[in-house]
Structure formats: C-alpha cells, structure tokens
Chains A and B, each alone.
Chain A
C-alpha cells in the first residue's frame, strides 16, 4: 500500500511519501495549484526520485474552462502521470474523444460512496477511485472486495466539506465594510473552528478536525487497498507525519497515532470511519 501526499512544496518531493497529488492553476480546488511549467518540473523530479504523480483537475468546469482543460489533458498525456483525478464529467468525455492514455481517477469527493458506481466509471477509463471521506471503514472494506477500480482512501488531514462558486467571505466583508486581507479565514460554531478560503474560484470550507487514521492503515492494507491519501493542507510538520505513517507497524501504530495526535494538539478525529451518517430523522 502506497502513501500519497498532497504536495504543497516542491522541495518535499524526496520525503517519505510514495507519490503526490497536485492541482493545476485554474482547474483544481483543494490542492496546491501549480503552473504548467511547475508541473513539468514536478513530473521530472518525481520520475528522478521514483515517486508517483497524480494530478487533480477537480474543479466544477464551465464552458469557458474547456479549451484550457483540453490543453492540459493533452500535456498530461505526454508526462508520466499515474492518474488524473476528476470531478467534472467533462473530463471523462474529453478523455474518450481525445483518446488519452493516462488513466482517470473518479474523484467526485462526496459521491464516491459505493462499489457499483466505481464499476460504472471503470468502463469509462477510471482505473482508480478516490473514496469519499464520508464512508465508514466497513463500507470501504466492502467496496475493496467488489470494486474493479483500485482505491485511494483518505486517511489523514483536513477534509473538504464545501465548495462554492460564491465569494461568501468577500461578500460579507464588503457588505459590512470590514477590512481583511487574510489568505485564509476561519469560521467558528460551538467551539469548532473551520478553515475557509475565498479565492478567485469561490469558497472552500474544511473540517474542524484533522482525520488521523494511522491505526486503520493495517486494516486497509489487509483489505488490499492500493493507496492511502494524506492531505498536507495547513499541517506544519507534514514530513515528520509522513515518516511516522511510513514507519508504522501493527505493533506500534497506536503509539505512533497518539504521537501524531499530540503533535496536532489533539485536534484530530476518526472522521466517518466509525460514524455512520443518517438521513431520515425519525
């Protein structure tokens, strides 16, 4: 089982991760977005350091994005990309019409919740699925048995909860004439603090707690999961955390998990790994 990390610093390419996920300027959300020149450099460095590279083009695409999207898809097909993570179905259609060889990763963040739909997208070039962070560990195990796609399971980091085209922070600041140039804001409710970013594409909100599933690594490994994903967004000591994940063994995982929890001042949880959401309130 390989460890994938969202790459926020090109200098980290030689760290303990087995591979990286990067975004592309104007086409991605929730990742560090790089220019095409940066992307070529990252591709070279990954190749040189024997690291795998996934590129996430996971923005909701509008018509105006399609020409650039086509250019980027064609470029990626000439690089050494392991997989293209997509949210918008436009990418599936273009992947087919352009006869691209780079595999796709079905990554519709909150929709990737069952094996049969993974098998649907497998027919359309999705070799991998990036599993939703809102499914339980038991559901992941069942998916791993029945899905034809290889799985990438989020195991560490802040989780994206909300994406909007609207500039919700800027609109508030403007309405009430508040001055602020923060590159990141926070919203709070009942003691929980949620990172919120308002950039040119709109707004993204993240979970208040950091998912830390180090203890579950071995359950996932035994289930035959191909990749786990660690999101390094707003994590200061990420290289050390990756190292601990890499060094973890079944007999020391609890100790290492606690160590990471302490490093993150206890702001960690298990997300939905053991918590089933409900939808019918009786």
Chain B
C-alpha cells in the first residue's frame, strides 16, 4: 500500500519542529556540507541528531540533502560524512551524484533518494536507479501527469513529486548561469537565481525587442493543491514542498493546508470537495502566482512571471505563541499589530480562532498601545486555550 508522505523543508531546528507540529510526515534538511543550499543556515551534526530525535519521537522522518555535483576535492571525507549521517539515524539521504549513491548503498544503511537535480523524467532512467538499489526517485519537475502515471505503472520504486514552491526555469542541473554570471556554482549550492534577473532581449541582428516589462526567465510558482486527490490516486509516494529558506509562518501555513487536504481526501474520497478558502490561504502566504506548471502539460506564456523581483514581504504573520498561562496568550511578536485589529490564531490540532486584539502588555505587564518590536514578548487575554507553536495572523 502506498503511503502518501507530506515532505516539508526545514532550514533549521525551529523550522523542523514547526513542520512536524503542523503535519509533515517527514522533513528534508541540509547538513553541514554537500547540500544544494550552501547559503542557508543548515544543520550541524549535533542539530541533525536533535532534529532526528524530535522527529522520531513523533514517528516522523528526516531526510538529508547530499545533492551537490561533486568536484574532486569534495570526494575527500565523503564516506566519513555519510557514516556520520547514519550515526545520526537520519532516515534517508537525497542525492544526485552516483558516487554518493554507490558509497551510501555499499557502506551504510541509509535509504537513498535520487534528487530532482538528476532530472529523472522517464521509465528507463527510473529503472536504472531502481536496479542500483535506491529507495525513491524525486522526478524532474518537467514531468506531466501522464508521464508520472506511466513511470509508476512500469517501475517499482517510490516516486516523489514536488507539490508547492518556486520552480527552476531550466532543467535542474542544466543551469550554470550562476557560475558564469557570478562565479557561484549552481550545482554546488551557490545558485544566485539568475533566472530572476532582468535582461534585454535582442533579435538576430542585435536590435532590442522591448516589451512593457523586461525579459526574464522567471516563472510562476508551483501549487498542486487542487490536484492532490489525483496525485494520491496516481500512487505518488511523497509530496514535496520546496523552500528550505522559507519562514516558519510559510512552513506552518503551507504544511498545515496540504495536511488538511490530504487527510480530508483520504478520509472520505467519495464526498471530497475542493475548498477554495484553503487556496486563498496559500495565495496570501506566498505573495506570488501559483500554477500546476508541467503537470497539466501547459508551459506556455501564461506560466511566466514578468513582475520583476518585487516580492512583497509577508506582513500577515503577527506572532508565534510561546505559551498560554492563566487565560493569557504569551506571544513572540513578528509583525506590527495593535488592540482592535481583527486576527486569527491557527495551529496544529486546533480549529482556527478569530478574534479582536484586546489590551496588550509587555513581559513586565506594562500596557502597550501597539506591538512594535520584532521578537518582543507580548501578552493578552484570550478565553480559548492555545498551544505553543500556534501562530497569529491578520484575518483576511
């Protein structure tokens, strides 16, 4: 029987815990080296151990990315690093270089997942990796629904697909724009996202072709919320959310929303109905247009994003609940709010609570006219009990 894992990104321990609390079945993280996000916080070995212990306590899994394209010097110490990950009890490694696959399969008990970086798009390529002994393949994001169905039908390895987040403009692994334009190695975790830069486009005689907006490779994001029932019925084993550099609010919102949809469909397929309110929550959180990309076979001009690099920072996230004592919510502030604002608290295993902000106090019980300072501890009265890790956001 296929288990439909919801797999979330986690850039650090806090995000790992949030992802698990909000319903992820597994998280993927970067270790101290050899992952494709060299410039995010990533985990130390001790943090990996702590993260794995936390996840396993809730019967969840941790996958570690070891998916750079190795140069000679990265071969040194590679096996030791894999054994270190094994000692940390991580459940799987996500890999693109076959040297890492072979070393892990022959010398450790780690499950090996083939990274989307390998751009595996067809039955024959899947069969090769299957024979090698990998447990799972993250398909290239250019695969259509029909192609995924054919692959699942004709092979015997777990298939993972992306369901949400930013997209590469090119085939993964086949873009080294970052190397050439900024000397940062895209396939070793240094991608400087040249696909979001503006360029001038010229014709063959080098005359400018100027539209209302500049030429860019930038595409809309991926969102598969509407297609989750299809993906479940197709037999996809794992649903992956992109974004190890995203905030806890983003992770909580996206993971929580997909969790609801997956559970709702699996609990009663016959009466399942798509909830557009959930789609709106995702849209408000990401601030970018999202579409199913290649899944429905459409990659025409409507998938492009010509609004430049303007991505409005999300101000919806107002605070993280730290505790609830004596009828008072204790909250760590993340964005400005004041008494009278209409807000909601959402969280794992709870119904969303809508309310108007009452009088607010600082840590020393001083009355405040507004919560202005990031990370400031704020207290206010609320009749409903809320749990740590719940979050407060603007009600839209």
Contact = CB atoms under 8 A, between A and B. Distances in A.
Interface stretch (B200-208, B221-229, B330-338, B346-354): B200-208
A235 B14 CA distance: 54
Contact of A117 (B98, B206, B299, B303): B98
A117 B118 CA distance: 14
Contacts of B174: 60, 109-110, 162-164
A62 B8 CA distance: 27
A171 B171 contact: no
A111 to B, nearest CB: 5
Interface residues of A, number: 72
A280 B204 contact: no
21 contacts: A60-B121, A66-B124, A88-B119, A90-B125, A91-B124, A108-B173, A109-B174, A111-B187, A159-B180, A165-B142, A168-B169, A172-B215, A176-B211, A185-B202, A187-B199, A278-B190, A279-B188, A279-B190, A280-B39, A280-B190, A281-B39
Contacts of B215: 172, 187
Contacts of A281: 38-39, 184, 190
Nearest to A124: B128
Interface stretch (A9-17, A135-143, A213-221): A135-143
Contacts, number: 224
Nearest to A123: B102
Contacts of B217: 164, 166, 168
A188 B199 contact: yes
A33 B68 CA distance: 31
Interface of B: 38-39, 68-72, 74-75, 96-99, 102, 118-125, 127-129, 131, 140, 142-143, 147, 150-151, 169-171, 173-177, 179-181, 183-190, 197, 199-206, 209-213, 215, 217, 219, 294, 299-301, 303-304, 306
A185 B184 contact: no
A89 B190 CA distance: 25
Interface in A80-137: 88-94, 108-111, 113-117, 120-121, 134-135
Interface in A150-184: 159, 161-176, 178, 180, 182-184
B180 to A, nearest CB: 5
Contacts of A114: 70-72, 74-75, 97, 99
Contacts of A108: 173
A90 to B, nearest CB: 4
B49 to A, nearest CB: 23
